[in-house]
Structure 1
Amino acid sequence: MDRIIRGRKAHRAGHLAEYVALIHLMLKGYRILGFRLKTPRGEIDILAQKGRRLAVVEVKSRRTPQEAYETVSATQQARLWQAGLALQAKKPQLQSFDLNIDLYILAPGHWPQHRINAFEAPPF
Structure 2
Amino acid sequence: MKRQIAEKSGRNAELRAAAWLRLKGWSILASRVKTPVGEIDLIAKRGGLVAFVEVKWRRAKSDLDTAIDERRLGRVAAAVECVAHEYATRGEDIRIDVILLAPGSLPRHIANAWQP
Larger Rg: 1
- In the alignment, does 2:77 pair up with 1:104? no
- In the alignment, does 2:109 pair up with 1:114? yes
Deviation by residue 1:49-104 (Cα, 9 ceiling, x = unmatched): 11121111111111345533423232221121122222124x27536121111111
Query: In structure 1, what residue type is equivalent to 2:80?
Result: G
Q: 2:40 aligns with which of 38, 44, 50?
A: 44
Q: Structure 1: any 5+ residue segments left out of the alignment? A: none
Please report how far the alpha carbon of residue 36 of structure 1 lies from its aligned counterpart in structure 2 after TM superposition. Answer: 0.4
Q: Give the direction of change, closer, same or farther, for the CA distance of 1:95–1:73 in structure 2 (3 Å limit).
A: farther
What is the CA–CA distance in structure 1 between the aligned matches of 2:67 and 2:101, rounded to whole Å? 13
Percent identity between the aligned chains?
36
> Alignment length, in residue pairs?
116
Q: Could you say what secondary structure the match of 2:11 adopts? A: helix
Structure 2 length-normalised TM: 0.86
Q: Is 1:84–1:99's contact at 8 Å kept on the other side of the alignment?
A: no
Q: Structure 2: any 5+ residue segments left out of the alignment? A: none
What is the CA–CA distance in structure 1 between the aligned matches of 2:26 and 2:20, rounded to whole Å? 9
Structure 1 length-normalised TM: 0.81
Q: Is 1:29–1:50's contact at 8 Å kept on the other side of the alignment?
A: yes
Deviation by residue 1:2-60 (Cα, 9 ceiling, x = unmatched): xx2x3222211111111011111112111111110001221000001111211111111
Q: Give the direction of change, closer, same or farther, for the CA distance of 1:92–1:77 in structure 2 (3 Å limit).
A: closer
User: What is the root-mean-square deviation in Å for CA atoms of aligned residues?
Assistant: 1.9
Q: 1:21 aligns with which of 14, 17, 24?
A: 17
Q: Could you say what secondary structure the match of 1:58 adopts? A: strand
